[in-house]
Chains A and B, each alone.
Chain A
């Protein structure tokens, strides 16, 4: 059983040529606003991926900016897409989603049933492997899952005979997204970035994507990375734009910085109808000019202080 469905793919040589010609290895100041980063590096019809989840270290400030700018026809590669897929679909920005895990709530489920957004099933492991293949410059990677399941029929994974064991093995095609959004703890103006805690595929996605937008809680000096290279998650020459976005993962949590805002998350989970979606977007996305105004007018300093206070687990994060 093999699916005959559309899938994002480009020849590894085309991606290599893009990296050769368009990704500068020269350090440069890439600091800009979320508005500038999204308008300059994201186009209608692009394929985007992001790291990590809606609830933890997700690039929520960047997602809200995408909606604010009214981008269209995006294709999302989504592992833990709990709220992004609902918001991007509800705002008319996304038309296709590769999953992953398509949670939460009935809004996105209903959108799929209504045919407003197309979904392809790669599973979390399959998507992560596709991005790894994209980063490794190979056209595909083999895996011993997806086999026997119906996901095969609704993805473009293929089953072939493994030349080494003679057994069936599953292949997933490389994925080289147009844009990766990665929210990090610390970055310098060149794009060197640090993540503390677990991740999905931050480095793989940064390497595999044509353009990389990093949003960071804190901006530090390039020399800080040289002094402590074990802690570098992403080196600058993979990165195209750096956005200083404190509380950029809100309403999700940023490990060791601030906790999840469960009240706001419940508000998102409660969106069932287009009217409720429109009301939410008007209030929290369209109704504010940018992330700073969002924090100032819709979250507020006392709320932020409280969420920071709740982030009491520091051990392991530095």
Chain B
């Protein structure tokens, strides 16, 4: 029986991010939304995922509800396998132990290059300044597959990012290797609040793979700062399930500070 599900764009983004994770694999989790994605995934789909935080938590299993503003506190380092420091955390990714990395982004381009540093002007005299890399550069450089999570707002998709904070495929095929980045690494998926993108194996360009059920692919890409490639068949992504929404709303973020957003609906 189908019914109409109501949810926010943030909830959809988190839910489809969680569905991408693989059990028995490892994931380097960036700060912010990726933390919520990893928590939801571990609760629902991938109990044996090994999370890693740059602030030295190996294999943590967050307590709920998620406490905003915690960074290395007892809540998000709870029940870890190991506690250590940042140099060791990045050793895990640099030596090849991190299958996935998950990062938020301010701006992304067709090659999956991420800008999180500034918008407008120059680095020395920016119009708007943001947090910058943190450990994002290491995550995008070292992890085998990087997943980028970003709100589906047209201006966030730009033909060329103003500043490469964290490397995607740089200028195209072979560019990462040429720059000296570890072989066979790079962006894998871009999860947005409307769609899912991958990267073309040959050209390394961002490719639309699927859209929220009921959404028109042309409508989805309209307004993006560049036109992505289209997969031969565009699949549909089911809206958040009851269980995903229940966990997000009742257990993970009952105050709904993180999961709030633009209202959406789709048929289940």
Knowing A56-B73, A198-B57, A255-B74, the reply to whether A148 touches B86 (Cβ < 8 A) is: no
Q: Indicate if A202 sits at the interface (CB-CB under 8 A).
A: yes
**Interface size on A (CB < 8 Å)?**
67
Q: How far is the CB of B50 from chain A (nearest CB, A)?
A: 16
Q: Indicate if B159 sits at the interface (CB-CB under 8 A).
A: no
Q: Determine which of A159, A204, A311 lies in contact with B74 in the assembled complex, contact meaning CB atoms within 8 Å.
A: A311
Q: How far is the CB of B229 from chain A (nearest CB, A)?
A: 22
Q: Indicate if B125 sits at the interface (CB-CB under 8 A).
A: yes
Contact B73 A145 (CB under 8 A): no
Kindly list chain B residues whose C-beta atoms are within 8 Å of the C-beta of A103.
Answer: 131
Q: Indicate if B87 sits at the interface (CB-CB under 8 A).
A: yes
Q: Determine which of A56, A124, A311 lies in contact with B54 in the assembled complex, contact meaning CB atoms within 8 Å.
A: A124
Kindly list chain A residues whose C-beta atoms are within 8 Å of the C-beta of B181.
Answer: 144-145, 147-148
For window 47-97 of chain A, which residues contact chain B by CB distance below 8 Å? 52-57, 79-80, 82
Q: Indicate if B268 sits at the interface (CB-CB under 8 A).
A: no
Contact A101 B165 (CB under 8 A): no
* 0/1 interface trace, chain B 72-99, chain A, CB 8 Å (1 if under): 1111011110011111001000100000
Contact A313 B87 (CB under 8 A): no
Contact stretch, chosen from B17-25, B37-45, B132-140, B217-225: B132-140
**Contacts between chains A and B (CB distance < 8 A), count:** 201
Contact A124 B85 (CB under 8 A): no
* 0/1 interface trace, chain B 129-151, chain A, CB 8 Å (1 if under): 11111111110011000000000
Contact B83 A198 (CB under 8 A): yes
* 0/1 interface trace, chain A 124-140, chain B, CB 8 Å (1 if under): 11101100100000000
- Give the distance in Å from the alpha carbon of A112 to the alpha carbon of B87 in the complex: 28
Nearest neighbor of A135 in chain B, beta-carbon distance: B87
Contact B83 A197 (CB under 8 A): yes
Q: How far is the CB of A37 from chain B (nearest CB, A)?
A: 24
Kindly list chain B residues whose C-beta atoms are within 8 Å of the C-beta of A123.
Answer: 132-138
Knowing A79-B86, A149-B165, the reply to whether A198 touches B142 (Cβ < 8 A) is: no
Contact B86 A253 (CB under 8 A): no
Q: How far is the CB of A263 from chain B (nearest CB, A)?
A: 11
Kindly list chain A residues whose C-beta atoms are within 8 Å of the C-beta of B182.
Answer: 144
Kindly list chain A residues whose C-beta atoms are within 8 Å of the C-beta of B72.
Answer: 52-53, 55-57, 197-199
- Give the distance in Å from the alpha carbon of A108 to the alpha carbon of B142 in the complex: 30
Contact A112 B126 (CB under 8 A): yes
Nearest neighbor of B133 in chain A, beta-carbon distance: A123
Knowing A144-B141, A146-B137, A316-B83, the reply to whether A101 touches B132 (Cβ < 8 A) is: yes
Knowing A147-B180, A197-B83, the reply to whether A260 touches B138 (Cβ < 8 A) is: no
Q: Indicate if A100 sits at the interface (CB-CB under 8 A).
A: yes
Kindly list chain A residues whose C-beta atoms are within 8 Å of the C-beta of B57.
Answer: 198
Kindly list chain B residues whose C-beta atoms are within 8 Å of the C-beta of A119.
Answer: 129, 132
Kindly list chain B residues whose C-beta atoms are within 8 Å of the C-beta of A110.
Answer: 129
Residue of A104, A150, A198 with most chain B CB atoms under a 10 A cut-off: A198
Nearest neighbor of B181 in chain A, beta-carbon distance: A147
Contact A255 B126 (CB under 8 A): no
- Give the distance in Å from the alpha carbon of A99 to the alpha carbon of B123 in the complex: 13
